[in-house]
Amino acid sequence: MTNLKTHTHPYVCPSEFAGSLDNSFRRWFHNPRKILKPYIQKGMTVLDLGCGPGVFTIEIAKMLQDSGKVIAADLQEGMLEIIAGKIKGTSLKNRVELHKCQENSIGISEKVDFILAFWMVHEVPDQDSLFKELKSILKPEGKILIVEPRMHVTGKAFRKMSSIIEKSGLKITEKSKVFFSRAIVLEHPI
């Protein structure tokens, strides 16, 4: 993730706007459980990349039940502090690991079963490096769900991103339907 900076990065939604990302209206049309049900299984290690205020992180942790974990990774400490406040004093704290990304990389070496990148890939200037790093931490047969907002990502830009994905060695296996979004599922080839 070359050239990523703190919340002052021009492409990153600042933590001060977390409320616009986490509200009942958004959860209604982007229901985390409905979107993630085909991909999340008990016992998995899941990376919620660009987790923001934890809308998907919290639901993933619940779906894992009493086993597995979700790594909530974000570039902004403010977003991670919001999640920490949400899970404080709950059993979810045992299944959520907070991780601050480095400026030029995600910075995770642990292998994961599933990666969610919801409305964040368009914020990364060096997508080539991003997808290579994602491939390096994804377990064989692991999956990645990439969801991008139609309001920020044109069809042409999404096709360009798809080309970068294929060059990284990840395989696009399906298109997914997510309201007001463009979405694809990737797999780590065996």
Structural domain contains residue 128: yes
- What pLDDT digit, counting tens, does each position of 41-87 carry? 999 999 999 998 999 999 999 999 989 999 999 999 999 999 999 99
CATH code of the domain containing 118: 3.40.50.150
Q: What token pair was written down for 46? A: 């899941």
Going by pLDDT thresholds of 50, 70 and 90, the confidence category of residue 7 is very low
Q: What token pair was written down for 176? A: 């997914």
Structural domain contains residue 30: yes
Query: Structural domain of residue 57, as residue ranges?
Result: 15-137
Q: What token pair was written down for 34? A: 């409905």
pLDDT for 138 beyond 50: yes
Structural domain contains residue 150: no
Going by C-alpha positions, the residue among 53, 164, 46 that lies closest to residue 115 is 46
- What pLDDT digit, counting tens, does each position of 148-190 carry? 999 989 999 999 999 999 999 999 999 989 989 999 999 988 7
Rounded Cα distance between 153 and 147, Å, is 10
- What pLDDT digit, counting tens, does each position of 95-136 carry? 999 999 988 899 999 999 999 999 999 989 999 999 999 999
Structural domain contains residue 120: yes
Rounded Cα distance between 24 and 143, Å, is 28
Structural domain contains residue 151: no
Structural domain contains residue 113: yes
Structural domain contains residue 166: no
The pLDDT of residue 20: 53
Going by pLDDT thresholds of 50, 70 and 90, the confidence category of residue 30 is confident
Domain count, the chain: 1
Structural domain contains residue 170: no
The pLDDT of residue 1: 38
The pLDDT of residue 27: 54
Query: What's the mean pLDDT when you consider all of the chain?
Result: 88
